[in-house]
Chains A and B, each alone.
Chain A
Amino acid sequence: MNILFAILVVAVLGGLFGFGLSYAEKKLAIKKDPKVLALEPIMPGANCGVCGYAGCNAYAAAVALGEAEIGLCSPGGPSLVAKMAEIMGAKIEASGETRRKVAHVMCRGNTEFTLKDYNYEGLEDCNAAALLFTGDNNCKSSCLHLGSCIKVCPVGAISKDKDGYIIVDEKACISCEKCVQICPTNAMHMIYEDSEYVIECNSHEPGGKVRKQCSVGCIGCKICETKFPESGCKVDRFLSTFDQMLPHSQIPEAAEACPTKCIIKR
């Protein structure tokens, strides 16, 4: 008899909770916009936040409501813009920016090449080190090698190589620019992926000062720009930059002639 009561009580309890929950489910059901449901699965899912929203789903919801533009997602690229436009029934505006950008450390300094102000012994974090005189390097635009960008990268594309240099896995990079934002010395830049050469220096200091600070920095001597007009290099405020879109047939010679050898072939 007792066992029957036991079965009855558990069955009734279970039944009650079951029906209660299914009733609550109907009563509390939330209608989701079909556009949101269509948009969510095609998002990249990195939740990197470059669009300015809390994550991929938040961005999808904002787009469905018409609050956000379609082209804010840089990890998704042009293919995602096309898919989203199709779902939203919007026309794709021809945007010129189709060259992919990747993060790159614009600094070749290390303990051997770069003058140190002091020995930093503290939290292993670039922004913590930058609180003390913008880092331990004498050059205040240099990479501090403490890896804040490694920690912030949502896809783990940034790492240190065996020499302690910060390297970016360009295939994995989703161009979210989080590393650019967190870098206290602005040594991390976004460069075009198709650039064959890159000038790995970030210092706008005059040449004489750069020479004292670092043996591999750009001194703004303008040899690349004036002696090799077809090098694609432009010097602005003592720092040369390379542009793949300019005529650049002479860039290998310019790289050879660079006195500090900071024009690097990628």
Chain B
Amino acid sequence: MSYIAILLTFIFINNFILVQFLGLCPFIGVSKNSENAIGMGASVTFVTTVASVVTWAIYYFLLVPFNLQYLQTLTFILVIASLVQLLEMVIQKISPALYKALGIYLPLITTNCAVLGIAIINISSSYNVMEAFVAGLAVGLGFTLAMILMSNIRERLDLQPVRGSFRGMPIAFISAGLMALAFMAFDKSLITNLHLV
């Protein structure tokens, strides 16, 4: 698959949040205002991109030679957790302002299954290192897109007269469901029709 096809696949067709339903915790938890949503999206994009490349390297240079492919989940989690920790330290050192803006959501990326998800998908789709990099980036961008859309919807919902029993979380879930339904319109045929395969 070409890089553009990979980008389209993970941003729209297989959007991790709205189609694959991975990483839903921050999608609901951090989407109350768009500022936080963008910050969370940016840090997840960074982690998925770097984690994709690093896990790819560990799989092909460490696990395959020793015939230990069954350890991939374990080692990938190890990589992601350390990576997020390192990222946290680096951001705190380089840009305290960004660190403050991201707050608690930064360490929480460790437990975001979208990151582990793309690491495993990279291996099962037998991407090369460049494709894995693009796929990681695309997942992050798709995540950011969903976060921004959701946070804008919720900012509007806060001002609307919503019936008491639906106010807050219930109406957010309903909106998320409708948005997921809309994303179902993006189909694999999009890629074949655009002659990207």
Instruction: Name the segment of A24-32, A96-104, A216-224, A256-264 touching the other chain.
Output: A24-32
Q: Is the interface of A mostly helix, strand, loop or mixed?
A: helix
Q: Is B79 an interface residue (CB 8 A)?
A: yes
User: In whole angstroms, what is the CA distance A123 to B86 when docked?
Assistant: 45
Q: Indicate which residue in A9, A28, A125, A128 contacts B92 across the interface (CB closer than 8 Å).
A: A28
Please tell me if the beta carbons of A30 and B92 are within 8 angstroms of each other in the complex.
yes
Proximity string of chain B (64-93) to chain A, C-beta cutoff 8 Å, 1 when within and 0 when not: 001110010011001100100110011011
- Contact of B104 with A by CB under 8 A: no
- Write the chain A residue with the least CB distance to B82: A17
Docked complex Cα distance between A17 and B89 (Å): 14
Cβ distance A192 to chain B, nearest Cβ, rounded Å:
34
- Asked if B194 is at the interface (CB within 8 A of a chain A CB), the reply is no
In the complex, the chain A residue whose C-beta lies closest to that of B66 is A5
Interface size on A, residues (CB 8 A): 20
A9 touches B66 (CB 8 A): yes
Q: Is B159 an interface residue (CB 8 A)?
A: yes
B160 at interface, CB cutoff 8 A? yes
Closest residue of chain B to A12 (Cβ to Cβ) is B62
Contact A28 B93, CB 8 Å, known A2-B67, A9-B63: yes
Q: How far is the CA of A10 from the CA of B58 in the complex (A)?
A: 11
Query: Could you tell me the distance between the alpha carbons of A244 and B174 in the complex, rounded to whole angstroms?
Result: 53
Tell me, in angstroms, the Cα distance from A252 to B75 when the chains sit together. 78
B164 at the interface (CB under 8 A from A): no
Q: Are B85 and A21 in contact (CB under 8 A)?
A: yes
Question: CB within 8 Å of A: which of B136-174?
Answer: 158-161
Contact yes or no, A124 B159, CB < 8 A: yes
Report chain A residues within 8 Å CB of B71.
6, 9-10
A20 and B82 contact, Cβ closer than 8 Å, known pairs A25-B89, A28-B93: yes
Whole-angstrom distance between the Cβ of B1 and the nearest chain A Cβ = 30
A sample of 18 inter-chain contacts (CB < 8 A) reads A6-B71, A9-B63, A13-B62, A17-B78, A17-B79, A17-B82, A21-B82, A24-B90, A25-B89, A28-B90, A30-B93, A30-B96, A123-B159, A123-B160, A124-B160, A124-B161, A125-B159, A151-B158
Residues in chain A within 8 A of chain B (CB atoms): 2, 5-6, 9-10, 13-14, 17, 20-21, 24-25, 28, 30, 54, 123-125, 128, 151
**Residues of B that sit less than 8 Å from A by CB:** 58, 62-63, 66-68, 71, 74-75, 78-79, 82, 85-86, 89-90, 92-93, 96, 100, 158-161
12 more A-B residue pairs beyond the given contacts A6-B71, A30-B92, with a C-beta to C-beta distance below 8 A: A9-B62, A9-B68, A10-B74, A10-B75, A10-B78, A13-B58, A20-B86, A21-B85, A21-B89, A24-B86, A24-B90, A30-B96
